[in-house]
Structure 1
Amino acid sequence: MASESKPPFPPFTRETAQQKVKAAQAAWNTKNPDLVQYAYTPDSVWRNRDTFLQGREQIVAFLRQKWAKEGEYRLRKELFAFGGDKIAVQFWYEWKDGEGQWWRTYGLEDWTFAANGLMRKRQMSGNDVKIGDGERWFVDGVDVDAVEIGEAHW
């Protein structure tokens, strides 16, 4: 079992908040729910769009379903704001459905952490937009952090 703490710990500085964001990005890009779950407290509560979850068991089941549906998933997270034990994140990810249609999901998350550095609350709002293969940002071999994302892409 993973450690029951995950540095850096709150209260966050810009540097430590950025570390949390990029660690989350790296973990989610593994698409391994058994690994990802250990960033959250055992009783963590989530709102993911219209789905409400509590606890690691529900988080793992949700992520398994998510990544079974969202093929070739690639995610980018960026720090939006932080303070005390909270971090706000903007994100973009691309994925392909079972019929071969590409999608880009745009969204925001707000995170609240326990003193041990594990996330105790996660709220996510996102929107899915159909894209063509030629509109993809996160193609094979591209570092998601190197993609320039700006208002011109919205």
Structure 2
Amino acid sequence: MSRPPLPPFTAEPAAQRVQLAENAWNTRDPERVALAYTPASVWRNREEFLTGRAEIKAFLTRKWARERDYALRKQLWAYTDDRIAVRFQYEWRDESGQGWRSHGNELWEFTPDGLMARREASINDVAIDEDDRTIFGPRR
């Protein structure tokens, strides 16, 4: 199975890849999102270290059960032949209704068939009031 756009990346395909990832994550569908990663993909997400699609799906299931009204924006930061760096922010509410804005950076490494073999994510959370929310659902 291949997942275009494929490496080696240039500016336009790298930006496409980032938008496709944003679109997929905004579905909040762990099964769909996990298909973008190799069966043995290695992740670091905050303080968690994951290996493989099964762990990724379980992580995403927990994440989106906890992060209500999740809405994400990603932006291409840099790229090389088989790597992409992304900055992002997303907003969500916890079970008490408190709003959060999460800011972060991701480093992605791809296989020749376009699957992501490695994802490193550093993320910080800031409490926000409902009036401060700026991201609502997927881009239109």
- Same fold, TM-score > 0.5, yes or no: yes
Name the aligned partner's letter for residue 82 of structure 2. D
Q: Which runs of 5+ in 2 are unaligned?
A: none
The Cα of 1:111 is off from its aligned counterpart by: 0.1
Q: Hey, which bits of structure 1, 4+ residues long, moved more than 3 A?
A: none
The yes-or-no answer on 1:125 pairing with 2:122 is yes
**What SS is found at the alignment partner of 2:35?**
helix
The yes-or-no answer on 1:28 pairing with 2:25 is yes
**What SS is found at the alignment partner of 2:135?**
coil
The Cα of 1:101 is off from its aligned counterpart by: 0.1
Name the aligned partner's letter for residue 128 of structure 1. D
TM-score normalised by structure 1 residue count: 0.89
The Cα of 1:144 is off from its aligned counterpart by: 4.2
Equivalenced residues, count:
140
Which residue matches 2:98?
101
The yes-or-no answer on 1:8 pairing with 2:2 is no
Which residue matches 1:151?
none
- The equivalent position to 1:48 in structure 2, one of 37, 45, 50, is 45
The Cα of 1:105 is off from its aligned counterpart by: 0.1
- Report percent identity of matched pairs: 52
The Cα of 1:139 is off from its aligned counterpart by: 3.2
Name the aligned partner's letter for residue 69 of structure 2. E
Which residue matches 2:15?
18
The alignment yields a C-alpha RMSD, in angstroms, of 1.1
Deviations 1:60-83 (A, max 9, x none): 000000000000000000000001
Aligned equivalents of 1:33, 1:58: Cα separation in 2: 11
Deviations 1:113-140 (A, max 9, x none): 0000000000000100000000000136
**What SS is found at the alignment partner of 1:62?**
helix
Q: Which runs of 5+ in 1 are unaligned?
A: 146-154
Name the aligned partner's letter for residue 127 of structure 2. K
Aligned equivalents of 1:119, 1:93: Cα separation in 2: 21
Larger relative contact order, structure 1 or 2 (CA cutoff 8 Å, min sep 6): 2
**What SS is found at the alignment partner of 2:126?**
strand
The Cα of 1:5 is off from its aligned counterpart by: 1.1
